[in-house]
């Protein structure tokens, strides 16, 4: 097992500790769904190709021999088993293990799971109460069902890029794979709902998630604005489309965020922070509707005034006045900040090659405790031997035979590295 940490906070009961998940997915959306379930206590067994593993083991900055920063972002708290699903012996192993699983996740193109022998009807025939989550690029019942789904493409197709970026610049993709991310979260919610219903009815469920569908959902109120207007709203970059001032501004020594959410806050901002009551008294700016209509004039005025302040002075003044504000941090600066350290959001985990490696902690808190990292992201196939011996009582001789037939690979040595 991949360095599981059994030292949980006293009294912390993980909600999914009796759930077992077969994660056949790769890259981002599916693995993130599996990681969410793992964070809540599920035993997630990640199935990977024997030689190359998950595609993301080759994306990002290398960690050890088989992991990368990209892979590690979606695969904590899991066990890795290598099986080549194009090998009949490997598919037979899936069938034999399946009765011990509650959930299956995959993100094959529509129709590919059935070709491999792991489609919903094929697995339901073995375990009729399985919760089966299939993630694809597009609606499985539509004409684009077999198109592969890529976050970048769907950010463009769904209109997300059209709402991101500056008004005088081309559409801009988000800095992370936001469609994949939200699809993984939506998928995890659907799995949890299906598991809850299964407790009441004893019935499993087929869940189908499409990246395009989730990309459209991410457009949120911006999309509804466009439908109401009959055309795209302007892009506002780091500013809010309907609240002013609610944006990034430059102080004399660096950027900061200012979020004036109502008229009372604006009055305090002008009088107490800027010491300019005349701006608060200006009828053009007395309401948010007025500030939105006169955005250009107000922002130009604020830009000039704010450059006359040191950033820390501004932040102190706004905090005292109850104005939401914050420093714009670099990514490394944010991840090494006192706030992040105090929240224990990034933890150093023992690693068999690197010595230690940073791993994000789950964002969830239950009963006053952050959910624990029970295991670091696994090396490729790290748990193949232990999982198949545990679930199917396979002998070393049987495992070696399966390896020779190309069904799986085995780690050179079983890792005994603990959690740091």
CA distances from 345 to 341, 351, 406 (A): 7, 18, 40
- Phi/psi of residue 170, nearest 5 degrees: -65, 160
Contact call for residues 241 and 295 (beta carbons, < 8 A)? no
**63 token code pair:** 């960690």
For the sheet containing 246-251, what is the strand order? 246-251, 254-259, 325-327
Assigned token pair, 17: 């500790």
Is the sign of the CA dihedral 359, 332, 345, 191 positive or negative?
Answer: negative
Torsion of CA 348, 350, 354, 359, to 10 degrees: -40
Per residue, what are the HEC states of 45-59? EEEECCCCCCHHHHC
Q: Crossing angle for the helix pair 178-201 and 211-218, nearest 10 degrees?
A: 110
Q: Indicate if 180 belongs to the active site.
A: yes
Catalytic residue among 43, 151, 180, 267: 180
- CA dist 124 and 122 (Å) reads 6
**What angle separates helix 211-218 from helix 220-229, to the nearest 10 degrees?**
80
Strand 369-370 relative to strand 365-366: parallel, antiparallel, unpaired?
antiparallel
CA distances from 61 to 181, 287, 347, 404 (A): 20, 49, 18, 32
Q: Which residues of 301-320 are buried (b: 16+ CB within 10 A; e: fewer)?
A: bbeebbeebebeebbebbee
From the CA atom positions of the chain, what is the Rg in Å?
25
Query: Count of CB atoms within 10 A of residue 153's CB?
Result: 16
Cα distance between residue 189 and residue 53, in whole Å: 26
Residue 319: its H or E element: helix 311-321
The tokens describing 292, both together, are: 């939105």
The C-alpha atoms of residue 385 and residue 351 are separated, in whole angstroms, by 19
**Where in the sequence numbering do the catalytic residues fall?**
180
């Amino acid at each position: 097992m991949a360095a599981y940490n059994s030292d949980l906070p006293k009294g912390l009961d993980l909600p999914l500790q009796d759930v077992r998940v077969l994660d056949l997915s790769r890259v981002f959306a599916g693995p993130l769904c599996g990681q969410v379930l793992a964070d809540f206590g599920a035993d997630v067994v990640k199935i990977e190709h024997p030689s190359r593993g998950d595609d993301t083991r080759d994306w990002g900055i290398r960690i050890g021999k088989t992991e990368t920063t990209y892979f590690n972002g979606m695969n904590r708290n899991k066990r890795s088993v290598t099986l080549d699903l194009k090998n009949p012996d490997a598919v037979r192993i899936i069938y034999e293990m399946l009765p011990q699983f509650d959930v299956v996740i995959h993100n094959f193109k529509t129709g590919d799971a059935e070709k491999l022998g792991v489609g919903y009807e094929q697995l339901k025939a073995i375990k009729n109460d399985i919760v089966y989550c299939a993630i694809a690029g597009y609606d499985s019942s539509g004409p684009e069902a077999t198109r592969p789904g890529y976050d970048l493409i769907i950010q463009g197709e769904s209109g997300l890029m059209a709402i991101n970026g500056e008004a005088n610049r081309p559409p801009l993709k988000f800095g992370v794979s936001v469609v994949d991310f939200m699809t993984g979260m939506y998928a995890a919610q659907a799995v949890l709902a299906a598991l809850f219903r299964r407790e009441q009815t004893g019935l499993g469920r087929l869940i189908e998630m499409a990246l395009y569908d989730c990309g459209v959902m991410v457009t949120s109120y911006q999309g509804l604005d466009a439908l109401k207007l009959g055309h795209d709203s302007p892009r506002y970059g780091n500013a809010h489309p309907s609240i002013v001032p609610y944006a990034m501004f430059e102080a004399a020594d660096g950027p900061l965020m200012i979020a004036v959410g109502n008229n009372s806050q604006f009055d305090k901002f002008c009088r107490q922070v800027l010491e300019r009551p005349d701006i608060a008294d200006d009828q053009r700016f007395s309401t948010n509707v007025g500030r939105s209509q006169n955005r250009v004039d107000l922002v130009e005025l604020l830009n000039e005034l704010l450059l006359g302040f040191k950033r820390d002075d501004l932040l102190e003044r706004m905090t005292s006045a109850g104005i939401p504000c914050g420093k714009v941090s670099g990514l490394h600066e944010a991840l090494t900040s006192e706030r992040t350290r105090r929240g224990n959001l990034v933890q150093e985990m023992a690693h068999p090659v690197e010595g230690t490696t940073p791993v994000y902690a789950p964002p969830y808190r239950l009963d006053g405790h952050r959910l624990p990292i029970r295991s670091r992201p696994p090396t490729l196939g790290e748990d193949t031997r232990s999982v198949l011996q545990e679930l199917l009582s396979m002998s070393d001789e049987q495992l070696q035979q399966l390896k020779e037939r190309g069904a799986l690979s085995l780690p050179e040595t079983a890792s005994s590295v603990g959690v740091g």
